[in-house]
Amino acid sequence: MAYELSDSITVAASPAEVFALVSDVTRTGEWSPQCYRSEWNGAAATDPAARTVGATFTGHNRTPEREWSTMSEVVTWEPGREFSWKVTSSGTVWGYRLEPVNRRDDATVITEFTRFTDEGEAFFAQKYGEDAAAQEADRKDAATYGITETLYAIRRIIEG
């Protein structure tokens, strides 16, 4: 059940400002419905210059049913354009694409996306066995609604 989901919203801020916010993984808990805390690992924990492609961070997640942590690796770091990461256990990619509105520097379309691949299917099959399809469907539903909820929360943070 490989898939890609996305949604977009326009905010009153420059792509550079939006990138600075969404690429600060330590703030993820302010907008994510599942990830309540994240921290950079290794050199990226203390050196902002190390927060680029290849840097890793740990995200701590929860739903009413359970809590779990994942390690992710930054796969795209293009200031003002795109920030994305890959969950190392499942290969699922998450990220944000940023586009200025009509070449202006005071409005940005943010697109949040996730891509669940064949690698994720194999991970879920190994981890959940016969329950893998149900687990995948639950994650897809959570992502579908969570992406939209996240984007509205980011807009509230940016616009006040």
Residue-level pLDDT, tens digit, the chain, 160 residues? 788 999 999 999 999 999 999 999 999 999 999 999 999 999 999 999 999 999 999 999 998 988 999 999 999 999 999 999 999 988 999 999 999 998 878 999 999 999 988 887 777 777 778 877 777 777 787 788 899 999 999 999 999 8
Q: Cα angle vertex 157, ends 156, 158, to 5°?
A: 95
* CATH of residue 139: 3.30.530.20
Q: Is 96 helix (H, G, I), strand (E, B) or coil?
A: strand
Displacement of CA 86 from its chain's centroid (Å): 9
Domain that holds residue 100: 3-159
Residue 63 CA to residue 49 CA, distance in Å, equals: 33
- DSSP string covering 34-92: SEEEEEE-GGGGT-GGG-STT-EEEEEEE-SS-EEEEEEEEEEEETTTEEEEEETTT--
Residue 26 CA to residue 48 CA, distance in Å, equals: 12
Q: Measuring CA to CA, which residue among 27, 5, 9 is closest to residue 110?
A: 9
* Domains held by the chain: number: 1
Find the helix or strand (DSSP H, E) in which 27 lies.
Answer: none
